[in-house]
Amino acid sequence: MSDLASTPATPAEQPAPEPSAAPAPAVDPRLLIREEGFAGYWSEFVRKVRGGELGSLPVLVGLIVIAIVFQFQNSNFLSASSVANIAVYSSGLGIMAVGIVFVLLLGEIDLSVGSVAGVGAAVWAVLNVNHGWNEWPAIIVAVLCGTALGALHGFFFAKIGVPAFVVTLAGFLGWSGFQEWLMGKEGSINTPSGSTVENLTNYFFADKAAGYGLALVAVLAYAASLLVESRRRRAANLPARPVTEVVLRTGVIAVLCFVVAYVLNEPEGARGLPLALVLFLAVLVVADFVARRTTFGRQVFAVGGNPEAARRAGIDVDRVRIIVFALSGTLGAFGGLFIASLSGGATKSVGGGNTLMLVIAAAVIGGTSLFGGRGKVWSALLGMIVIQSIQQGLNMIGMANAIQYMITGAVLLAAVVIDSVSRRTQKTAGRA
């Protein structure tokens, strides 16, 4: 009996195991947030702020404060002519700042962008005015010169191993001398009347349909991008924005775009939509697409976040670095043509003075991190609007240039402090 009791049961005699419950599917917390409605979004916003994920919040708050303060000081601060001046003066330097955003995403710096802008303006003026070239070939050669200079900086940095700070500082000095040599003894070449370069900052679309049309196109394109992104995420079984959120975001953008279009078109003395603003926005859209929607853009963020990890992942780090510096040089030379247009011609001082400081400050103030791997192309727009709004407001109340420099420097320092504190907070919260 004991032997029979100890004999193990055959498989057929063993009781069938009870079916185990299927594991519950993981639920993305972002889906729960959206299901909770406004309360969910608010709790997510508070969590991000506490975790150091500030995004564009500081610069947007700063813009609101700047507008309120200067509007109380001078009731013409938000007038059509003032807004148009801010848009035009932001465009050339803002285009240069877009190139700097890409360099900062690598965690590097480009100190040569001002002198490259001066070389671009000088090459265009010498070819077009002194040698009688057609203006379009002269413009193309001038921009390509900036591409070549930027690629040269990138080569010495990526292939030779010279620090970017040293390479671009040498470029700042060397290309400034090259610019003076190109300009010759006279030192200035006036912009031909009615030329393309003159129209860069002096042409305005007087037809009101241009301003409102651009606003409509911008709103429709933004809404389409949100809808396409949501559809792609749903197709991949990822959390996507609900239609209500898409409508709300589109509505906010629509209000901003049409208010700006109204200010530029309707009030007395309004000149219409500036061509400079259209070109600046075009550069921003293309650059944003490259940064967020292409393989190269993702590689830039990867190299800026961790170059060694990017290299081990199969990314050609040297190639990415050279292309980024070439892009910075290209946009620097293009922005130099805007500066020449504003100043009435190419001079030895184009790209000098505080140009470099303003361009780098715009990228940083707009929210691009100095530590690499974090930022958006639209930082160039936000940061440059902040800087030009401060300068415009201080000019309207008769403040000296010295005060303007001090205030701009303080704003730049505040932006860097916010970036540093944000990174430290993210590390503490485990989100770095």
Look at residue 411 and tell me whether its pLDDT is greater than 90: no
Neighbours of 338 (CB within 10 A): 26
Looking at residue 24, its pLDDT comes to 45
pLDDT in tens, 269-302: 788 999 999 999 999 999 999 999 899 999 999 9
pLDDT of residue 290: 94
Residue, of 251 and 373, whose pLDDT is higher: 251
Q: Out of 16-20, 102-106, 149-153, 356-360, which region has the weakest mean confidence (pLDDT)?
A: 16-20
For the segment 183-216, what is each residue's pLDDT rounded down to a tens digit?
Answer: 888 788 898 888 999 999 999 998 999 999 999 9
DSSP state at residue 79: S
Q: Lowest-pLDDT range, 57-66, 98-107, 111-120?
A: 57-66
C-alpha to C-alpha distance for 248 and 1, rounded to whole angstroms: 80
Confidence (pTM): 0.85
| Distance from C-alpha of 179 to C-alpha of 257, rounded to nearest angstrom | 39
Q: What average pLDDT does range 313-336 have in this prediction?
A: 96
- The fraction of the chain above a pLDDT of 90, given in percent, is 48
**For residue 114, which phi and psi values (nearest 5 degrees)?**
-65, -45
Task: For residue 35, give the 3-state DSSP assignment.
Answer: helix
- Residue-averaged pLDDT of the chain: 84
* Lookup: tokens for 423: 């990174």
pLDDT at site 5: 47
pLDDT digits (tens, 9 = 90+) for 21-72: 444 444 445 454 554 555 666 666 566 656 555 566 778 888 888 889 899 9
**CB distance 210 to 273 below 8 Å:** yes
Separation CA 178–CA 119 (nearest Å): 7
Position 1 scores a pLDDT of 44
Phi and psi angles of residue 261, each rounded to the nearest 5 degrees, phi first: -60, -40
- Tell me what pLDDT residue 34 has: 53
**Would you list the DSSP string of 55-80?**
TTHHHHHHHHHHHHHHHHH-TTTTSH
* Of 397 and 22, more confident: 397
Chain-centre distance for alpha carbon 147 = 19
Residue 266 has pLDDT above 90, yes or no: no
**pLDDT tens digits, one per residue of 155-170:** 999 999 999 999 999 9
Query: Would you list the DSSP string of 17-28?
Result: PPPPPPPPPP--
